[in-house]
Amino acid sequence: MTKPVILTGDRPTGKLHIGHYVGSLKNRVLLQEQGQHQLYVFLADQQALTDHAKDPQTIVESIGNVALDYLAAGLDPAKSTIFIQSQIPELAELSMYYMNLVSLARLERNPTVKTEIAQKGFGESIPTGFLVYPIAQAADITAFKANFVPVGNDQKPMIEQTREIVRSFNHTYQTDVLVEPEGIYPENESAGRLPGLDGNAKMSKSLGNGIYLADDMDTLQKKVMSMYTDSNHIRVEDPGQIEGNMVFYYLDVFGRPEDVADIQAMKDHYQQGGLGDVKTKRYLLEILERELGPIRERRLEFAQDMGQVYEMLKKGSQVAQAVAAETLDQVKEAMGIRYF
């Protein structure tokens, strides 16, 4: 019996921070180890180029870094297919055929696209590639006949657009070649999103408020000690506030079941007064190092042989291309344009 297919990936625009790790990467490793799905994980470099076309070197450098993060976190190329989007030319051809099934007006109505265009400040100079990337995303998903696509709630319009394209194609050409995917979404809007060290709702490279899987111990310590806590908690004896305090937020995220009682006791003590921020941060540092230390060590080991890392990506891309080529062949046959 064929396993259901899951497709997931990242835009390689830098190293992955721990928000990526708890939001998606950790779950991918869990899905991989469960062995109930066929997992495809890809580096969406073509998608990243839609707004980094004049800075391709950032994407090129990020490929190796993100691949290291994947391997260090536990993704195993023997169990999951890890590949680079741009190395699968079939995806571009599929995108071209799908473009004929989607109107410009429909793309412009896509809420996710509208939001991201505003965020990036394109104004009237929207790159065509950026505008049509929902179609390219549909090609990514359908090329591997993905049954499930884990994404954030903000990506629901993108999944719905893919589903529309699948229905349109299958109806137009009287076929069932393409598989209509289902999105896997967090249970609530904030699930899977780790706030930045400064309390900002978004952890990002541009804001400089993130902890990265590649950070060494000294860097991790400096970042933890700089975390936002409670601006009114000036003296140790003062009662402190838990809500909005990033130290306790991170403790809740990274604490294990055996830590729950200690974390609750620390919260109670902090709220009553008599517990300083330095002590809470040192405790968080221990919790984070327990989680991130082994990942850092594995990352350093893999980084010693980047040739092997790129060979892994090459082999994964070859496997992915073979699957995409088969789907493309079926698509062209359904359209009646496979001439010989």
How far, in Å, are 4, 137, 144, 204, 235 from residue 177 at the CA level? 16, 17, 11, 39, 66
Residue 116 pLDDT? 82
Judge whether residue 182 has pLDDT over 80. yes
Residue 192 pLDDT? 56
- CATH number (1.10.240.10, 1.10.3720.10, 1.10.3210.10, 1.10.1060.10) of 215-300 reads 1.10.240.10
Tens of pLDDT, residue by residue over 110-134, are 888 888 888 778 877 888 888 898 9
DSSP string, 51-69: TTTT-HHHHHHHHHHHHHH
Judge whether residue 252 has pLDDT over 90. yes
Q: How confident is the model at residue 267 (pLDDT cuts 50, 70, 90)?
A: very high
Whether 140 has a binding-site annotation, put simply, is: yes
Give yes or no for a contact between 220 and 227, defined as CB atoms under 8 angstroms apart.
Answer: no
Judge whether residue 311 has pLDDT over 80. yes
Helix (H) or strand (E) holding 38: strand 38-43
* Intrachain domains 5-194+306-335 and 215-300 with the same fold: no
Residue 44 pLDDT? 96
Q: Which of 201, 182, 205 is nearest to 190 (CA)?
A: 201
Instruction: Parse the chain into domains and list their residue ranges.
Output: 5-194+306-335, 215-300
- 0.85 exceeded by pTM: yes
Contacts of residue 147, defined as CB under 8 A and 6 or more positions apart, other chains included, come to 4, 5, 6, 179, 181, 182
Structure-token match 């050409």, residue found: 173
Whether 204 has a binding-site annotation, put simply, is: yes
Kindly report which listed range (229-238, 250-259, 279-288, 317-326) carries the lowest average pLDDT score.
229-238
Give yes or no for a contact between 176 and 211, defined as CB atoms under 8 angstroms apart.
Answer: no
Bigger pLDDT: 191 vs 104: 104
Residue 125 pLDDT? 81
Whether 45 has a binding-site annotation, put simply, is: no
> For 35-40, what is the mean pLDDT?
96
Residue 286 pLDDT? 97
DSSP string, 254-289: H--GGGHHHHHHHHHHHHHS---HHHHHHHHHHHHH
> For 193-197, what is the mean pLDDT?
89
Residue 201 pLDDT? 76
Whether 152 has a binding-site annotation, put simply, is: yes
Whether 206 has a binding-site annotation, put simply, is: yes
Q: Which fold has domain 5-194+306-335?
A: Rossmann fold (3.40.50)
Q: How far apart are CA 159 and CA 164, in angstroms?
A: 9
How far, in Å, are 131, 151, 158, 161, 243 from residue 111 at the CA level? 12, 15, 9, 11, 31
Residue 74 pLDDT? 98
Mean pLDDT across the chain = 93
Residue 63 pLDDT? 97
Whether 20 has a binding-site annotation, put simply, is: yes
Q: How far apart are CA 200 and CA 246, in angstroms?
A: 10
Residue 38 pLDDT? 97
Whether 275 has a binding-site annotation, put simply, is: no
Whether 205 has a binding-site annotation, put simply, is: yes
Q: How far apart are CA 131 and CA 324, in angstroms?
A: 23
> For 208-237, what is the mean pLDDT?
94
> For 237-248, what is the mean pLDDT?
94
Residue 278 pLDDT? 95
Whether 19 has a binding-site annotation, put simply, is: yes
